[in-house]
A and B are shown apart, each in its own frame.
Chain A
Amino acid sequence: DAEITQSPRHKITETGRQVTLACHQTWNHNNMFWYRQDLGHGLRLIHYSYGVQDTNKGEVSDGYSVSRSNTEDLPLTLESAASSQTSVYFCASSEKTGVNEKLFFGSGTQLSVL
């Protein structure tokens, strides 16, 4: 079955380190998204991509970057991890290119920055 997978499921890192979270989907969706989820907030968009070589900043993009070299993967990089980036990160994808509907989410990565 097609799916979207995230790795690792849990990550502990230190302030200032570079961290990369992986996201891989097998639906062949052009749209891919990264969100963070924190207590007291709804899901907040970090970055998104509508296709290979396309990346766009979301609501809370500072300190994060993404690259899209193929359809299946959208890795999220924290250039220099900060304690404020401790959160649960969700990757998502959707079918209709450029249309922001019916996102399918991965299981999430719990990131702790100490």
Chain B
Amino acid sequence: GESVGLHLPTLSVQEGDNSIINCAYSNSASDYFIWYKQESGKGPQFIIDIRSNMDKRQGQRVTVLLNKTVKHLSLQIAATQPGDSAVYFCAENMGSGAGSYQLTFGKGTKLSVIP
């Protein structure tokens, strides 16, 4: 998995399997987290976000899990499809209310789906 600050890792998954992309964040005061998908040559696309008062949030085929104890965030993609091939990165924000800090972005994990 990735860390906000680490070298870009890669993950290869068979089509139809579930994917788990990890992200370790550094700031225990961060209270808002967000996942983006970026396909080659395109801008980042919002996937899902979660606040620190939640442990889990589900979207369409995606689930984000937050473990504040170990400062870990994961994105689960169910029934991975070829169209899921992209770079996925997380971002964190310490104090996301008005006047808050800016988002800090990780470098990303490249997901390759094997047909």
Chain A interface (Cβ < 8 Å from any Cβ of B)? 40-45, 48, 58-59, 90, 96-108
Contact = CB atoms under 8 A, between A and B. Distances in A.
Given A42-B4, A106-B43, A101 B108 contact: no
A90 B42 CA distance: 10
A100 B101 contact: yes
Given A100-B102, A101-B49, A103-B103, A108 B42 contact: yes
A42 B104 contact: yes
A98 to B, nearest CB: 4
Given A101-B96, A108-B42, 13 more contacts: A41-B107, A42-B4, A42-B106, A43-B44, A43-B105, A58-B102, A97-B98, A98-B98, A98-B99, A101-B34, A102-B46, A103-B44, A107-B43
Nearest to A99: B98
> DSSP class of B's interface residues: helix, strand, loop or mixed?
loop
Contact of B43 (A90, A100, A101): A90
B97 A99 contact: yes
Interface residues of B, number: 30
Nearest to B44: A105
Contacts of B26: none
B4 to A, nearest CB: 7
B8 to A, nearest CB: 8
A100 B106 contact: no
B102 A108 contact: no
B93 interface: yes
B45 interface: yes
Given A43-B105, A45-B102, A101 B32 contact: yes
